[in-house]
Structure 1
Amino acid sequence: MKRFLDNLYKNQSIVYKGFLFIATIVLIVYLFPKGGKFKYDFQKGKLWQYETLYAPFDFAIYKTDAEIKKDKEAIQANHPDYFRYEDAITDAVYNGFDEKFNSYFPSDDYGKSERDRLYSYGQELLNTIYEKGVVQFNSDYTDDSVVNVVKRNEERTVLYGSFVKLNQIDRLISTFIKEKGLTEYKSQYNSLYFDIIQPNVFFDEVLTAKTLERELAKVTTTRGNIDKGKRIIAKGEVVEGEKYNILSSLRKEYQSKLWNESNYNWIVFGYTILVGITLFMLLLFLQKYRQEVFINNNKVTFIFFNILVMIFLTTTVVKFNVDYVYVVPLCIMPLILKAFFDPRLGLFTHVLTVLLLGFIVPNSFEYVFLQIIAGIVTIQTISELHKRANLFISVAQITLVYIIAYFAFYVIHEGNFENIHWITFGLFVLNGLATLAAFPLIYIYEKLFSLVSDVSLLELSDTNSKLLKELSDKAPGTFHHSLQVANLAEAAANEIGANSMLVRVGALYHDIGKMNNPTYFTENQTTSVNPHNELSPEESAKIIIDHVIEGIELAKKNNLPDRVIDFIRTHHGTSLVYYFYRKAYDLNEDVSKEDFQYPGPIPYSKETAILMMSDSVEAASKSLKNPTFTIINDFVEKIVTKQIDEGQFLNANITFKEIEQIKKVLKQKLTNIYHLRIEYPE
């Protein structure tokens, strides 16, 4: 058990990557839509490239969205509105007639037989008015409008014109009185009915909506059937019209049949294999070509996290509304990865992510093509991200490429652009605007994953920053030396294609540890008094060596990124403080080298190796009295060769060719510093 735990501890980095690998696969497969994948890939307007296809089973032809919409619109146009007959109001009107009749036709003024006759006519008129029902006038209906009336839970269909409208009551009363010869009683009848008449038929909005919803639910999503064995499409035929609809129906039916309980585990297993292969390719790429990223679990986690975020956003949009799939700013990922790592890693990761998304989006070929082209444009156009204008220019170019490529695909599919969906171009613009979120995301990722981007490096390179200002005040000689080293290292990095911004920042901060004891370093000594004269060689060497350790502590205290601290840690590697070692050796030949040796580690990147060379050459160049081209050439060769012989660059992943290029730049820069001119023969 102890041996197992020891091995587990020794290989904890590999164990973590294995756990991250499996967890990412599980999450991606979980996010994938739960549906099978149709084994034929086809696009409208293109030739059918497979063998002649026969129906593998009976299936229905699904209507298109436009057909379903048309059917629903027809139902809505022909659906009658519902009105409800209120018996309680009718009874209230008749009761009101009985109560108020005596008020308008008092027994003192009319005989009994006369009052009975007027009452009977009044009842007859009331029956005429309420025979079909009374409604409030509504200009939305015509007399020919068909409506349904619900009376005592019985439904019947009538014309809206059969109802009596309130604005027709006066005319109806006048006509009735004239027919019955009751003109002398017109004012009494008008006053009586004005008091009691009210509508008893009302529009029932709830019932109308409910019945309409019920009718719309009856709209079928299919039309006709295809029998098993029937030929659907022959090889070489164009996928269009009815053939396209039938193929789409077969794909939909196939996926619904495929993704059932019996096949579920096998489909998940297949997805797991494909996703696993894709992520394994990414790990292989990191292990072979980006070793410094591969060994850093934090960076590997960051890359996998970005893949998960993009897949999550895309699958969420696909489930919500697939029409908005191009709003997802997928190009943010290569942009961010380039800001923290390099273009090749950014593009490789982007391509793998797009291939995974091809499983879940419709028209996967079109989607994959557009996104890969956009990713390439992102990598090609984004440079010097710390310059804000560059991001806006790049986003504009990415959006333009999206629009042009989509336009080309549409023309290929449709043969014209008369019915092109202009709203899709608006989605691409939204995509571009969302891509601008890269700036705040870079800042957030820096804090979450302790990474450093060019934007942060630019801020750190400001010589007015707190730490560099303090270095300038306490150790002006060291500050000047750091500026010179930064210029040399930046030029060398540009020559071999290394990260010049990173190496410049590393050079500016590499000697900050000298602030604690500035006078013990020759560049800060302004008088002839050398404090080392009062110390033993061992004590002097310790002070010199400690500037590395104290620099690391100072950098951490001021929250400098680890990538910058690496330059402080490695800029002397494991070299000797040779002057004091030799001085101690002359006093005692048994002196230990370890007491005069920097703790290391040796440089483990091109950038840290460049700084070591630039720092040594610049510091030693101060001892040159009357430099010439030959002296400078031999001087640089001697220093760099000694570092190579000591094995300082074994872990730096730097070639001899690149070292020669760096030496050439250092010689040229020193020549410019000392203002040497070519000596022409007289």
Structure 2
Amino acid sequence: MYRHQDLIVKIFLIAACTAVIVYFFPKSDRFKYDYAQGEPWEYETLYAPFSFAILKDKEVLEEEKQQAIEQTPRHFYSKPVNTNELLDRFDESVKSAISDSLYKATSRRYQRVTRSFLQDLYKVGYLEDLQDLKDIHPIVLKRDNELTQLTYGDLILPGELQKNLSAVYASFSNDLQGILTRRLLVLVQPNVFYDKELTDLNIQSEVEKILPTRGLIAQNARIIAQGEIVEGDKLQILNTLNNTYESQTWSDSQYNWKLLGYLVLIGMALTMLMLFIHKYRYEVYNSNKKLLFIYFNLCLFVVLTASVVKIDADFVYIVPVCMLPLIIKAFFDARLGLFSHVIIIFILSFVVPSSGEYLFLQMMAGIVTILSGKEIYKRANLFITVGQIVTVYFISYFAFYAVYQGGVIGWEWSRIIYFVLCGLAMLFVWPLIYVFEKIFNLVSDVSLLELSDTNSKLLKELSNKAPGTFHHSLNVANIAETAANEIGANSMLVRVGALYHDVGKMANPTYFTENQGNGINPHDDLDPEESAQIIIDHIINGVEIAKKSNLPDRIIDFIRTHHGDSLVYYFYKKAKEENPDVDESLFRYPGPRPYSLETAILMIADSVEAASKSLKAPSSVAIDKLVESIINSQMAAGQFLNADITFKQIESIKTVIKKKLASMYHLRIEYPE
């Protein structure tokens, strides 16, 4: 029942991640061809998949709109003016400005001339509110509910009015001419006015009549052949087809099929990742927390990239997708990191433009990330990795541009800036790893580096309370780290586990041989059962101390398993001599047995280092015999059955430990006297 429940959890995880990813996918379809103006069409001959109208170029459409605006007639309306009243006011004004004799001599004549002028002026139309129009621009004048087609130049404007008045009064003396002109200009009123509201409505109507398309491409008509240059009409037709795909509205049936296809493809990709983990990383497969961490990161980077594409597809290379394999490698290993990167790149190829170029660039960058130094906790290694990634981006883009354009002139420098920004974003992997450690309670190499500091609070306390145990832990750490390097295990993890594996001895330090410097052994006053219990309790005490010190579970595992479920053999043998029917379970460690390559290495290194202290005259033969005896007895007791360790690796560990112990005891060949 439990197995089925665990399988259901994993299926639910894949289904949930698939749903999240597909939800953030673009709802519109994407044109599957990538092209650029001036480049040859590198695909097969393209035929129209359906009939569609050709969209006009934006510049052409804007030009037609501007032309319609300029050619649309402006509307004006006319109001009647009482010329008799205007003449009376004009006459009174002139009369007050000239002498009575001059008025009597000229009034009849200038009144007749002025009346005739005003009649002609208002018959044509006088506009005082100037408009930015040419004289030939058509206008429509509404007068007494009648519409008259004119040009703007037909109207009398203020400048023309003054000029006409000078001609009308030219027969009068200069002084009188000036008085008449000035007085009339002050009194004359416009009778034509600009109708902006009606004009704007007409302009809008004319603009709306402009068609955004020109011509029609029939279904199965050839659009462009392979090798033809993408320019002119062909470019506009391709742009139209591209826009049609992006704005295409799907029927419910079509959309459901499209959605089903996405769900199947993404689900298959995520299932392949789960099968890979099951086959090659079974310890990860058995941990739902670790699986959640991996799939969460996949969803995170897919959602981030899809969101950026929706905002502006040009920014897609700013998203630090190569951070994913770096994170996975920091917590697990390079092989899982690379496979995860391959899966996410395949998924993202559905949403990014220029998917072929994107696949190649990101694949190369991901491989460089995996091949870079594993120790990303070293600042230099991370900066070198980022530099390599940016360089790969640059070189790959250079090559693609050279292939497509047949040269490198005119390439997009903004793309290089995006690559640099992506590299800078990669530097945030440190704080991101720290956040993931706290959220998912995982351990990365960065945390292991911090824990390996012998000046940490817990290790300093160990060195003060149990100096012999601290020295023993350092020796075990050196041996285990060397063995891990030899067989390809996580050497940093083994080293840290070795440093903390005996912290439980701080509870009763003098009951352990390495801390008995004064030659007094408190076990001499205890029964074998009591002594064995004190020895066994250092496991339980160690776990409690580690939890209080907030050590990660991955390190606490080394404390639990470094003795497995083996016997406290010395006191068991002593008790058996006193009582042959003694209960063996009282002398057995609680376990569990080592269940990883690293915990198995620590068990071997701890047992061998402790036993080597009993060698009175250490020699190469004695060390070889000791190492073989201890490791073989552990194998015979089945201590490594749960650990993913092979006979070949065990033999390699034996060889490394023998050499390490020989160097620790400074063994040299004996020279003849």
Which interval holds the TM-score relative to the shorter structure?
Answer: 0.7 to 0.9
Distance 1:580 1:622 in 2: 18
Distance 1:575 1:315 in 2: 54
How far residue 562 of structure 1 moved from its aligned partner, in angstroms, is 0.9
1:110–1:238 CA distance, 2 compared to 1 (3 A):
same
Distance 1:99 1:549 in 2: 121
The aligned runs of 1:275-354 (5 Å cut-off) are: 275-354=266-345
1:629 alignment partner, one of 599, 604, 620: 620
1:619 alignment partner, one of 610, 619, 632: 610
TM-score, normalization by structure 1: 0.83
Paired position in structure 2 for 1:641: 632
Which residue type is aligned with residue 7 of structure 2?
I
1:296–1:54 CA distance, 2 compared to 1 (3 A):
same
Structure 2 residue 49 is the aligned partner of structure 1 residue 59: no
State the secondary structure of the residue aligned to 1:32.
coil
* Offset from partner CA, 1:410-452 (integer Å, 9 cap, x none): 2222223333222222222222222222122111111111111
State the secondary structure of the residue aligned to 1:390.
helix
Distance 1:556 1:212 in 2: 76
1:115–1:528 CA distance, 2 compared to 1 (3 A):
farther
Distance 2:7 2:318 in 1: 37
Which residue type is aligned with residue 32 of structure 1?
F
How far residue 536 of structure 1 moved from its aligned partner, in angstroms, is 1.3
1:26 alignment partner, one of 19, 36, 48: 19
Paired position in structure 2 for 1:362: 353
Where structure 2 has 5 or more consecutive residues not aligned to the other structure, the ranges are none
The aligned runs of 1:45-444 (5 Å cut-off) are: 45=40, 47-49=42-44, 55-62=48-55, 67-72=57-62, 75=65, 79-80=69-70, 107=96, 131-135=126-130, 179=170, 181=172, 183-184=174-175, 186=178, 215=207, 218=210, 220=212, 222-232=213-223, 240-241=230-231, 246=237, 259-444=250-435
State the secondary structure of the residue aligned to 1:224.
strand
Which residue type is aligned with residue 398 of structure 2?
F
Distance 1:422 1:150 in 2: 57
Which residue type is aligned with residue 519 of structure 1?
T
* Offset from partner CA, 1:351-403 (integer Å, 9 cap, x none): 01111111222322222111111111111124311111222221122112112
State the secondary structure of the residue aligned to 1:265.
helix
Q: Supply the RMSD in Å over aligned alpha carbons.
A: 4.3
Distance 1:214 1:294 in 2: 68
Structure 2 residue 501 is the aligned partner of structure 1 residue 506: no
TM-score, normalization by structure 2: 0.84
State the secondary structure of the residue aligned to 2:216.
strand
Distance 1:72 1:658 in 2: 75
Structure 2 residue 8 is the aligned partner of structure 1 residue 15: yes
How far residue 498 of structure 1 moved from its aligned partner, in angstroms, is 0.9
Which structure has the larger Rg over C-alpha atoms?
2
Distance 1:348 1:436 in 2: 22
- In terms of mean alpha carbon deviation, does 156-165 or 557-566 score higher? 156-165
Q: Is the 8 A contact 1:82 1:205 kept in 2?
A: no
Distance 1:659 1:413 in 2: 55
* Offset from partner CA, 1:143-173 (integer Å, 9 cap, x none): 78979899999999977998968xx699869
Which residue type is aligned with residue 16 of structure 2?
A
Paired position in structure 1 for 2:474: 483
State the secondary structure of the residue aligned to 2:643.
coil
Aligned length: 661
Paired position in structure 2 for 1:575: 566
Distance 2:13 2:490 in 1: 29
Q: Is the 8 A contact 2:125 2:155 kept in 1?
A: no
1:580–1:318 CA distance, 2 compared to 1 (3 A):
same
The aligned runs of 1:452-601 (5 Å cut-off) are: 452-601=443-592
How far residue 566 of structure 1 moved from its aligned partner, in angstroms, is 0.8
* Offset from partner CA, 1:541-563 (integer Å, 9 cap, x none): 11111111111111111111111
- In terms of mean alpha carbon deviation, does 655-664 or 210-219 score higher? 210-219
Distance 2:51 2:168 in 1: 72
State the secondary structure of the residue aligned to 2:615.
coil
How far residue 458 of structure 1 moved from its aligned partner, in angstroms, is 0.6
* Offset from partner CA, 1:156-197 (integer Å, 9 cap, x none): 9977998968xx699869957974747436489769979999
Distance 2:315 2:194 in 1: 44
Which residue type is aligned with residue 452 of structure 1?
V
Paired position in structure 2 for 1:3: none
How far residue 519 of structure 1 moved from its aligned partner, in angstroms, is 1.2
State the secondary structure of the residue aligned to 1:648.
coil
How far residue 576 of structure 1 moved from its aligned partner, in angstroms, is 0.9
Q: Is the 8 A contact 2:605 2:657 kept in 1?
A: yes
Which residue type is aligned with residue 351 of structure 1?
V
1:515–1:47 CA distance, 2 compared to 1 (3 A):
same
1:465–1:535 CA distance, 2 compared to 1 (3 A):
same
How far residue 45 of structure 1 moved from its aligned partner, in angstroms, is 3.2
Distance 1:59 1:591 in 2: 93
State the secondary structure of the residue aligned to 2:53.
strand
Q: Is the 8 A contact 1:335 1:382 kept in 2?
A: no
1:106–1:395 CA distance, 2 compared to 1 (3 A):
farther
Where structure 1 has 5 or more consecutive residues not aligned to the other structure, the ranges are 1-6
Which residue type is aligned with residue 131 of structure 1?
Y
- In terms of mean alpha carbon deviation, does 30-39 or 126-135 score higher? 126-135
How far residue 264 of structure 1 moved from its aligned partner, in angstroms, is 2.1
* Offset from partner CA, 1:11-59 (integer Å, 9 cap, x none): 432221111111112222222222457788999635445xx76545433
How far residue 582 of structure 1 moved from its aligned partner, in angstroms, is 1.1
How far residue 345 of structure 1 moved from its aligned partner, in angstroms, is 0.4
How far residue 255 of structure 1 moved from its aligned partner, in angstroms, is 7.7
Distance 2:90 2:398 in 1: 79
Q: Is the 8 A contact 1:85 1:133 kept in 2?
A: no
How far residue 663 of structure 1 moved from its aligned partner, in angstroms, is 1.5
Paired position in structure 2 for 1:4: none
How far residue 535 of structure 1 moved from its aligned partner, in angstroms, is 1.6
1:105–1:286 CA distance, 2 compared to 1 (3 A):
same
* Offset from partner CA, 1:192-235 (integer Å, 9 cap, x none): 9799999x999989998996899499562x4432223444566x
State the secondary structure of the residue aligned to 1:396.
helix
Q: Is the 8 A contact 2:90 2:187 kept in 1?
A: no
State the secondary structure of the residue aligned to 1:573.
coil
- In terms of mean alpha carbon deviation, does 664-673 or 256-265 score higher? 256-265
- In terms of mean alpha carbon deviation, does 419-428 or 119-128 score higher? 119-128
State the secondary structure of the residue aligned to 1:329.
coil
Q: Give the fraction of aligned pairs with identical amino acids, expressed as a percent.
A: 50
